[in-house]
Structures are given as C-alpha cells and as structure tokens.
Amino acid sequence: MATYSCGVIEPFFLEHSVYLSPFIIISIVIAVFLDYVIITKSKDLGTFKYYILNQAIWAQLYEIVLIIESPVIFNNCLGAVFTGFLLRSIGSYRFTQILTIGAISLLGNTFAAVILSMVNRFLFVFTPSKRVYMDNKYTLTLIIVFIIIFHILFASAILLSSTDAETCKQLAVHETGDSLVKYFNEPSFYYAGENEGKTRFIGFVIFCMISFAVLPFAACIIVFIIHVVYNSKSLHSKVLTARSLVMVVTVQAMLCVCMVMFPTMWILASWTWNLNHDIELTNYVIILLSLHGIADAICTFYCVMPYRRYVISLFVSKKPAVPAPASNTSARISRGQVHG
C-alpha cells in the first residue's frame, strides 16, 4: 500500500549528464590553474592562503564528483538515481551507496571550508589579535570532530538501510506504491527506506547541525560588512581595498548561501518532513549545487587582488617604456658643457 507519491521526473533530468559533461573538463582546467595561482601568488596573504586552498580543493573535488554522478533526487522520497553516463553502464546498488557517502562527505568538507575561510578572513583583516582563537589546536580539533560527526550521521543513515538491489525495490514499492517502478531499470537506483522513521530523524539532526553552523557564518558576514563600511573613511589609502572586501564578502556569501547551503537544506527538508513539492525544482537545485566550484573559482580569481593582477597580466602585455625626447634647452646645455 502506497504511503505517498514521489512525483514524475522529466526526461531532461535523466539525460542531463550529457549537458554537464563539458563542465568536467572546464572544472579540471580551472581547478589546476587556481591551485597553481594560490600556491605561487599568495606570499602577501600569510597562512590565509591555506584556508583559500582548502576551500578551493574541496569545492573542486565535490563539483567534479557531483557532475560525474549527475544525481536525480526523488523529491520527498528517500532515494535517487545517478544518471552519469559511466554510472548508467557500471552502476550498482552497492556502488551507489559508496558514491553517495563520498559525495556527502565532500559536500560537508566544502561547507566547512567556506565557513572557515570567511571567519579567518574576518579575523585576519580586522581583529588579528583574535586569530589565536582560530589558529589553535583546540579550535581545529573541535572543527574536525564536528565534521567527522556530520559524516558519521550521513553514512549511518545510508548504511542502516543497506540491503540489496531487489529488497530495495520491494521496499520502494511497499512504501511508495508504483511511483518509482519506472526507474527500476536504472543500475544506480537507490531507495533508503523509512526504517521506522530513523532515516528521516537523522536527516532532521543533520538539518539542525547545518542550521546551527549557518548562524555564526551569517553573523560574521554581517559584522564584516558593517565593519568595512563604517571604517572605510578612516582607512585613507586603503579605501579601495576596503570596498573590495565588501565585494568579496558579499559575493562569496551569496555563492555559499545560494549554491551550497540553500540546496543542501532544501533537499534535507524535503526528506526530513516528507515535503511533496515540485520535483523539477528540486533537481534544478541539484544542478545549481553542481556548479558551485566553478563559480567559487571565478570569484576567487576576481576578488583576491594578487590573483586578479596575475590573471590580467597574462592577457595584457606591458608596453615597453619609451624614453622622453630631450628638449632643445637640454640639448643646448649639453653642447655648451661639451664646448666648455
């Protein structure tokens, strides 16, 4: 007996990996170039370059993996299929589990790296004396423990529902009726199951953890912007830098909120509270999430001044200095000195 319906996935989403495939090459090229620039052109940034590099690497890995997977979410149902062209050939129930855990782990690391980068930037620019609270073993240990718990909870939600491909399909029929039968021919078909509410409860806990992490992140951004605006007049020669910092915070904050936090919380909310909304919107959100790495790289190139100058220098050649012609007066003086 069906408990709820999962909607109908449009054919576009089942084939959208074809359209996303070129972005894999683009993403890899941009990733290699960005990492090179960060490593070689960050001598004025101190230890902050490691935060930027950390953020960039996790965003790059997550984007590449997500594009390769090209997941399609069954909206409020606890399942998905991977439509990547390779996965439609070699996919399996167990392989889907492994890839799902890997993608979620990379997403968690990307999310944490963005927060760490923004908090460090705030401390680095305005309150350097408080960086000691950020760059110490206790804070780093707490952050690592938080990330590990995040990974364990998600992995637990997946492994708790671990059965086999046939049992998975039977469970999907039992809980959703015929809603998902049309996708049983997909090798990567995966359905987690209710597990007496345990799966959705774990989703609720993770949703709360992300919400808790968003609050200090948003507060840091607001304080950062206010601090820059109110102190821009007192910075004199650094007014231009202060204005660029406003742009940095605003752009990266919007990227993080719109392309990482919002899509993740949207999917978790759909699964946690069994929200039966537009399935197309949910999968457009997944595509948005897949392109965060490229957007973050472009933002880094443009907003970090040493990187922007270096990139511009690659396309704009410096004009050779032309010596100024000597004036008639200078010539007469020179001749006079010679004759004298």
pLDDT above 80 for 85: no
Q: How far apart are the C-alpha atoms of 312 and 225, rounded to whole Å?
A: 27
- pLDDT at residue 311, as a whole number: 92
Side-chain half-sphere CA neighbours of 220 within 13 A:
22
Q: How far apart are the C-alpha atoms of 330 and 336, rounded to whole Å?
A: 10
User: Mean pLDDT across the stretch 45-51?
Assistant: 79
pLDDT above 80 for 135: no
Q: How do beta strands 190-191 and 71-73 pair?
A: unpaired
- pLDDT at residue 176, as a whole number: 85
pLDDT above 90 for 76: no
Report phi then psi at 79, rounded to 5.
-165, 175
Cα radius of gyration (the chain): 26
Q: What is the pLDDT confidence band of residue 28, given thresholds at 50, 70 and 90?
A: very high
Q: How far apart are the C-alpha atoms of 242 and 230, rounded to whole Å?
A: 10
3-state secondary structure of 79: strand
Using the 8-state DSSP alphabet, how is residue 23 labeled? H
Q: What is the pLDDT confidence band of residue 40, given thresholds at 50, 70 and 90?
A: very high
More confident residue, 232 or 229: 229
Contacts of 250 (CB under 8 A, 6+ apart): 225
More confident residue, 73 or 230: 73
More confident residue, 56 or 336: 56
Residue 262 one-letter amino acid: F
Q: pTM of this prediction? A: 0.78
Q: What is the pLDDT confidence band of residue 306, given thresholds at 50, 70 and 90?
A: confident
Q: What is the pLDDT confidence band of residue 250, given thresholds at 50, 70 and 90?
A: low
> Among candidates 100, 77, 78, 80, which has minimal Cα distance to 13?
80
Q: What is the pLDDT confidence band of residue 328, given thresholds at 50, 70 and 90?
A: low
Give per-residue pLDDT as tens, 195-227.
Answer: 788 888 888 888 888 888 777 667 766 776 676
User: Mean pLDDT across the stretch 1-7?
Assistant: 59
The rounded percent of the chain whose pLDDT value lies above 90 is: 7
Task: Give the helix, strand, coil percentages of the chain, each rounded to 5.
Answer: 75, 5, 20
pLDDT above 90 for 34: yes
- pLDDT at residue 2, as a whole number: 42
Using the 8-state DSSP alphabet, how is residue 86 labeled? T
User: Mean pLDDT across the stretch 110-135?
Assistant: 74
Q: What is the domain partition of the chain in residue ranges?
A: 11-314
Cα 125 → chain centroid: 23
Q: How far apart are the C-alpha atoms of 191 and 265, rounded to whole Å?
A: 20
pLDDT above 70 for 113: yes
C-alpha separations of 84 from 87, 113, 155, 186 in Å = 5, 27, 22, 11
Using the 8-state DSSP alphabet, how is residue 15 labeled? S
Give the CATH H-level superfamily of domain 11-314. Rhodopsin 7-helix transmembrane proteins (1.20.1070.10)
Q: How far apart are the C-alpha atoms of 102 and 22, rounded to whole Å?
A: 22
pLDDT above 50 for 33: yes
Side-chain half-sphere CA neighbours of 328 within 13 A:
0
> Among candidates 87, 94, 57, which has minimal Cα distance to 72?
87
More confident residue, 125 or 33: 33
Using the 8-state DSSP alphabet, how is residue 320 labeled? P
Do 285 and 231 form a contact (C-beta atoms < 8 A)? no
User: Mean pLDDT across the stretch 127-131?
Assistant: 71
pLDDT above 60 for 258: yes
Side-chain half-sphere CA neighbours of 21 within 13 A:
10
